[in-house]
């Protein structure tokens, strides 16, 4: 059996999967904030309770909000900043007395959906996270492709292509935390979506409320959704123009807006070189559970 662990900023989740993908154990604990040793201890406790529950020693895979640098061997780019600069794999292996496989959480999403999810059977799966932030991950033949710098799929911190005046107005009022201008994250994350509504409608609502308003016929909410779909279509078209994946799988809060699966693929064709785009854009089969399942499937 395989243990998968998703190390999030506020919670750590562990599952155990059988060889057939059946989940036979699940537990969540709070993430020890700014406490590296506490984080190691919390993961150790989850592994011990998981193995006690299923009655056997398991492999362990871990998804993290960052990546292990191929240069230094230390964690980098983690928004759980107490992980950065630490040899997390080596420290966990010492604590658990076994090899541990670690990957970026978006890459874990890609692996999960490639193995037995919405991208099953596809050679090249690109997974997009459009939630609080915006990220991406790559799975080739159901294996993580992290790249030479460990940042393959970090598409959310490239600039939004083919910007118009509305985009530039949004960008000037919504800086990215990374310090670089025009990142996709400020436009197509769930945060970017509600901030766009706030900027244009003068009202602060969250994503689900804006979608519900649009469904009720509110013009401001509908315009906000149309801007979002247009921006997402340009962002995904640039991805197709660059790596042309076999399928694009969406996860995160904005992936639950069903209309984007009808509207965005049609809009993408305008921006893909040659004027046509047959790339499927689909919702993650396992939703919020994809990351932790993908961590298990690292083995």
pLDDT in tens, 12-54: 999 999 999 999 999 999 999 999 999 999 999 999 999 999 9
How many CB atoms sit inside 10 A of residue 70's CB? 12
Kindly give the pairing relationship between strand 11-17 and strand 281-283.
Answer: unpaired
Contact 131, 288 (CB under 8 A): no
Domain positions in the chain: 2-104+289-296, 118-283
| Exposed / middle / buried, residue 201 (Cβ in 10 Å: 0-12, 13-18, 19+) | middle
**Among the CATH numbers 3.40.50.11720, 3.40.50.300, 3.40.50.10210, 3.30.420.40, which is that of 2-104+289-296?**
3.30.420.40
Query: Dihedral of CA 52/57/58/63: which sign?
Result: positive
| Cα-to-chain-centroid distance, residue 148 | 20
2-104+289-296 shares its CATH topology with 118-283: yes
pLDDT at 80: 86
Q: Name the percent of the chain lying above pLDDT 70.
A: 100
Count the Cβ atoms, other than its own, within 10 Å of residue 263.
17
Of 210, 199, 297, give the one whose Cα is nearest residue 256. Answer: 210
Structure tokens at 126: 């690109």
**Superfamily name and number for 118-283:** ATPase, nucleotide binding domain (3.30.420.40)
Q: Which pTM value belongs to this model?
A: 0.91
Percent of the chain with pLDDT over 90: 89
pLDDT tens sequence across 166-221: 999 999 999 988 888 999 999 999 999 999 999 999 999 999 999 999 999 999 99
Residue with tokens 């660059």: 242
What is residue 127's predicted lDDT score, i.e. its pLDDT?
A: 96
């Amino acid at each position: 059996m395989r243990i998968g662990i998703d190390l999030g900023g506020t919670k750590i989740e562990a599952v155990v999967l059988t060889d057939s993908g059946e989940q036979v154990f699940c537990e969540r604990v709070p993430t020890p904030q700014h406490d590296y040793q506490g984080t190691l201890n919390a993961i150790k406790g989850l592994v011990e309770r998981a193995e006690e529950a299923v009655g056997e020693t398991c492999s362990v895979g871990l998804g993290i909000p960052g990546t292990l640098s191929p240069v230094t061997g230390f964690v980098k780019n983690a928004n759980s900043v107490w992980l950065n600069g630490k040899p997390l794999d080596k420290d966990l292996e010492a604590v658990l007395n076994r090899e541990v496989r670690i990957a970026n959480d978006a890459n874990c999403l890609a692996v999960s959906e490639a193995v037995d999810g919405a991208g099953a059977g596809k050679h090249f799966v690109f997974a997009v996270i459009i939630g609080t932030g915006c990220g991406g991950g790559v799975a080739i033949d159901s294996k993580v492709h992290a790249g030479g710098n460990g940042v393959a799929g970090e598409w959310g911190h490239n600039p939004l292509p083919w910007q118009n005046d509305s985009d530039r107005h949004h960008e000037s009022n919504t800086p990215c935390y990374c310090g670089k201008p025009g990142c996709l994250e400020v436009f197509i994350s769930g945060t970017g979506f509600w901030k766009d509504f706030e900027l244009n409608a003068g009202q602060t609502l969250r994503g689900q409320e804006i979608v519900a308003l649009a469904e009720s016929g509110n013009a401001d909410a509908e315009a906000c959704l149309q801007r979002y779909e247009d921006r997402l279509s340009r962002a995904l078209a640039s991805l197709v123009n660059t790596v042309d994946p076999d399928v694009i799988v969406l996860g995160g809060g904005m992936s639950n807006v069903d209309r984007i699966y009808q509207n965005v693929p049609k809009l993408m064709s305008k921006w893909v070189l040659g004027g046509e785009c047959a790339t499927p854009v689909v919702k993650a089969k396992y939703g919020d559970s994809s990351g932790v399942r993908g961590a298990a499937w690292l083995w």
